[in-house]
Structure 1
Amino acid sequence: MLHHLTNLLMSKEILLIPILILILLEVKHRIRPISPLKLHFHSWKLTRINRDLIIRGLLEIANPHKYMEVMVPEFKISPTLLSNNKLDGIRVRSNVVLNEASKETHRKDSYWTNNIVKGHKAAQVELEMTMTTINNYNISSLWIEIYWVNYGPFGYLCRREGVLLPLSHPPLTLSKQAYWHKDENFQTLPVRTHLLGPLDDPSSVIQYYAGHLLEPGDIIAIGETPLAIMQGRFHHPTMVQVSGMARTLCRFFHPTSSLATAVGLQTLIDIVGPSRVILAWILGITAKILGIRGVFYRLAGNQARLIDDLTGTTPPYDQTLVLGPRHSQRICDQLSREFNISIAVVDVNDLGKVKILAQSRLYNDTILRRALKSNPAGNANEQTPLVLIRPILNCNS
């Protein structure tokens, strides 16, 4: 009897070991050293003087932490023009100024003075770029990469972020000139826009590019990746601190998966935590041996399917990881009330798979799935984040 009781206690202790390991992994993940600083993009203004286009912007370095003070010893920008044409003969000059309240610390040159951002405080940064052209170039956007350093209790962190500033807009699709893809039950119209970025919002984009086309009963499908980009949910791989766990487990995913790289999988770990990922991985491997696929993605959460690794999106975001959007249902409801039509956030690929992340006022999603099965928006550089779907009356859908 005593021997049986001893064996039982030992078996319970053995079971506790993996639980303790998962708890330790989760605690280590939660208390890992990270910088609290956030970069927010504010007002931008474009002014043309003769052959010069002057672009002025305001950034805010915010510190939401209550106590921690963080230094910013370096802050540089690298502007890149995006166009379908050659850009010979264009010169871009840039300047970065810390907008200090004290005149004593303000410098007239472009030297960046080390700045301390205290807890619950923010520092403002003024950017100015002057683009000099010889001819009239068709330049679509300006991609501004920001290289900056955070220094504090977490160490010395080099960060790399970016913002896209549209310099021109494609012509609007007029009702009489619109080329609809027709089916017996519906017709679809991919809506072309400028390259989207964190300075855009879904409501303004829909209003500008599709507002004049909308009719009662229409459906607007928004791509989940463009929506996430407008929310600023993308980051450069250098922003991710890869763990040994990510380097090991990523090798077991299909090579085409966005989780097949250490940075891609670490991005998921940073979102949902290491314990959930490792449990989903163990159960997923077990289920796969038994012939059941997709268990990992169901257990690891929606972001496991929505993360796009490098090259998964349109330039310049092809060099970043793009996450899935936030608050998709709330956005659908808000846009549906604003435009009085049905709104859906979707994830579509060229294989005919249609995933509806959220929908509002859509009582029957059969037409939506049929209309998007051929992926009318495309997966290349079409710049068609919106698809307008118009059901045909008196149809059996």
Structure 2
Amino acid sequence: MADMELVPVRTRILTDNDNIVDIIEKYAKGNVGPNDVISVAESVVAITQGRMTRPEDLKPGLLARVMCRFVPQKGSLSSAYGMQAAMNMEGEWRFFFAMVVGTLAKFVGKNGVFYELAGEQAALIDDVTGTMPPFDKHIVFGPLDPVGVAEQIKQRLGCFGATVADVNDLKRSRIVGTSSGLNPDLLAKILIDNPFGNASQKTPIVIIKNYAQAQAKALG
């Protein structure tokens, strides 16, 4: 049985004028087989969808300026601008309710409640410097319909599957969307060391070679 391998795919700088499926076909098609899975960074998918804004276009309100103080400094919601951008997408009072309940939940030892209640954008939004140049001065939202994007990639490339992943260098690996038949937990473990390079590396696509065999073995 062939060993599983992670193969980063180098591209040019991608913008909102690009279609992510077309880009993957152009740069990765020659190295993709029927047992492989194509993974792509969620922030890059969002950028190609135009899902971003500049901080200077936002006016953080009192609620955003106060609530951002309760978020750890490494989080994208720790700035008033990142907080306001996410609140604009999910609703200010939804965020406020989630923050209150989440804070109370921590007192009884339960973490992550805020992100469960605040909505998808609370976890997916990238504040400035959180994504690739030249968009490192932008706040980037989560992508639209990541499951649909993954299915389109799978159909176009003829691979075993595709996934849109939110991975960083802090050992946080979250699968945002996959094509049918894939195991999100296994994918998150495979991508935990963040093989993507969204900065000068320009490798927002990673082919997981021989994933089909690895999944079959993991599932017994």
Pick closer, same or farther for the CA change 1:255–1:209 going to 2, 3 Å: same
Deviation, 1:238, is 0.9
Residue of structure 2 aligned with 1:352, choices 160, 171, 193: 171
Q: Which amino acid in 2 is paired with 1:321?
A: I
Give % identity. Answer: 37
SS at match of 1:190: strand
Is 1:198 matched with 2:16?
yes
Aligned to 2:162: 343
Give CA deviations for 1:263-317 in whole Å, capped at 9, x if unaligned: 1111111011112011101101111222221111110011101111111112221
Aligned to 1:307: 125
Q: Distance in 2 between matches of 1:394 and 1:246?
A: 47
Q: Distance in 1 between matches of 2:212 and 2:90?
A: 44
Residue of structure 2 aligned with 1:241, choices 32, 37, 59: 59
SS at match of 1:284: helix
Query: Looking at CA atoms only, which structure, 1 or 2, has the larger radius of gyration?
Result: 1
Pick closer, same or farther for the CA change 1:261–1:363 going to 2, 3 Å: closer
Deviation, 1:356, is 0.8
Residue of structure 2 aligned with 1:294, choices 109, 112, 123: 112
Q: Distance in 1 between matches of 2:131 and 2:62?
A: 27
Deviation, 1:185, is 4.3
Q: Please, which moves more after superposition, 208-217 or 191-200? A: 208-217
Q: TM-score, normalising length from structure 1?
A: 0.51
Aligned to 2:143: 325
Aligned to 2:134: 316
The structure carrying a bigger strand percent of its residues is: 1
Residue of structure 2 aligned with 1:390, choices 201, 209, 216: 209
Q: Distance in 2 between matches of 1:376 and 1:392?
A: 15
Is 1:208 matched with 2:26?
yes
Give yes or no for contact 2:41–2:205 (8 Å, CA) kept in 1: yes
SS at match of 1:206: helix
Deviation, 1:394, is 5.8
Deviation, 1:325, is 0.4
CA RMSD of aligned residues (A): 1.8
Deviation, 1:351, is 2.9
Structure 2: where are the runs of 5+ without partners?
Answer: none
Q: Report 1 or 2 for greater relative contact order, CA contacts < 8 Å, sequence distance ≥ 6.
A: 2
Deviation, 1:368, is 2.6
Aligned to 2:99: 281
Residue of structure 1 aligned with 2:41, choices 184, 209, 223: 223
Q: Distance in 2 between matches of 1:379 and 1:230?
A: 13
Give CA deviations for 1:313-362 in whole Å, capped at 9, x if unaligned: 12221111111101111111222222222110001112333211111133
Pick closer, same or farther for the CA change 1:192–1:283 going to 2, 3 Å: same
SS at match of 1:318: coil
* Aligned 1:1-397 pairs, distance under 5 A: 185-341=3-159, 342-365=161-184, 367-378=186-197, 380-391=199-210, 396-397=217-218
Q: Distance in 1 between matches of 2:45 and 2:212?
A: 30
Pick closer, same or farther for the CA change 1:255–1:393 going to 2, 3 Å: closer
SS at match of 1:319: coil
Aligned to 1:6: none
Q: TM-score, normalising length from structure 2?
A: 0.90
Structure 1: where are the runs of 5+ without partners?
Answer: 1-183
SS at match of 1:211: helix
Give yes or no for contact 1:220–1:386 (8 Å, CA) kept in 2: yes
SS at match of 2:7: strand
The structure 1 segments of at least 4 consecutive aligned residues displaced by more than 4 Å after TM superposition are: 392-395
Q: Distance in 2 between matches of 1:361 and 1:205?
A: 21
Give yes or no for contact 2:16–2:50 (8 Å, CA) kept in 1: yes
Give yes or no for contact 1:268–1:304 (8 Å, CA) kept in 2: yes
Q: Distance in 1 between matches of 2:64 and 2:213?
A: 53
Q: Which amino acid in 1 is paired with 2:84?
A: Q
Give yes or no for contact 1:220–1:388 (8 Å, CA) kept in 2: yes
Give yes or no for contact 2:46–2:142 (8 Å, CA) kept in 1: yes
Q: Which amino acid in 2 is paired with 1:220?
A: I
